[in-house]
Every structure is written in C-alpha cells, then in structure tokens.
A = this chain, B = another copy of it.
Amino acid sequence: MTATLTDVLELERSAQELLFHEARTANTFADEPVSDEQLRAIYDLVKWAPTSMNIQPLRVSLVRSAEARARLLPHMSEGNRGKTGTAPVVAILSADSDFHEHLHRTFPHVPNAKDRFPDAGKRAEMARFNALLQVGYFILGVRAAGLSAGPMTGFDAAGVREEFFADGTQEPLVIVNIGKPGPDAWFPRLPRLEFDEAVEVL
C-alpha cells in the first residue's frame, strides 16, 4: 500500500496511512476496551466537518451495555450478528429530521431559520443527505483514534427504528462496530477504481 503514499498532499504520510492506506474494515475485534474519552474525542473532532446550513443531523447511539446490545442483535443480519456481538462498542448512526430545532443556535445569523423547514418529509430527506456525509466523517474519526471501524448496512432498519427511535424523528442509516482489530480481522484488500474510471476532466 505504501507505494501510493505521496508528498503531493500536505497531510503527513503517517496520517495518510492511519486514515486511508492502512485502515481496514474490521470483522473481528480484540478484547480491549474503548474508552469514553476516545469516543468523546472522536465526536469533538468530526463535529467540525461541514453540513448544509450547519444542520448537523447526525446522531450517535453508543451501544455499551449488555442490555442495549441484546436489543440490537436480533435486528442485525445473520452475517453481522457475530461481530456486532463482540465489538467493544457499537454505534448506531442515525439522521434526526428534527435538526431545525437547533438552528436558532447553530445558524443564528438567519432569524427564524427553523421556519424554513415546515415540511417533515423534506426535513427527513435533507437530514439523511447530510447525515450520510457525517457518517463518512465519523468512520475516518474512528480511525483517527487508532481504532478500526466496521460499518454495516446489513440490518433491519425498520426494526432498529422501532426498537431505539420509536418517537419517530431519527432514521438509522449505518451501524458501526468499533474497537481494536482481533485475529484475522480482514480479508485481502479489494481493488479500487483507477483515477480515469472514476474521474473525468472537463
């Protein structure tokens, strides 16, 4: 992997490795705890990355207790249940369509910004769009803490929503196992599209 590390970027090579080149999606986890301090530091880092109108719709539900994990596991697809059962922490990442309730503080230069969002369906769409950008930031934030992320979409979203967000304003998007990688944590790295396959210059 180190062949593609580059000095063209301003980001140090060690950081390129930590976040992108050497980081991998973990499928097994070591029996090593993740601290509350690490989880707080991840949030305090990634919260600064941008969203439209600073709406910040991402919500993070950290599954720590045995009781919460027992509520989650039945909703995971079979292939994900084992690793989700053993990861030190599991984060349910969701989009909150009630983001507009915070705009008087988070977008204060536009008075009554909240009133621009009367339509719950449009709020849900905007929340989902921006929360997905934040899921991307969050995955890299986990890696910034020296931990492996195992993001999954293989779960019953309706079931998770009913179990954890029955009040209705949060839509679960991605569930992420978090911890130090265990033995045989990953498969060989899969190929990426070449520059010319994914990028065009106009």
Contacts and interface: CB of A to CB of B under 8 A. Distances in A.
A45 B188 CA distance: 18
Contacts of A78: none
Contacts of A56: 192-193, 198
Interface string A20-53: 1101010000000001111111111111111010
Given A140-B49, A193-B47, A199 B59 contact: yes
12 contacts: A12-B12, A12-B15, A15-B144, A16-B45, A43-B199, A48-B192, A50-B149, A52-B153, A59-B200, A60-B200, A61-B200, A133-B136
A160 to B, nearest CB: 12
A112 interface: no
A45 to B, nearest CB: 5
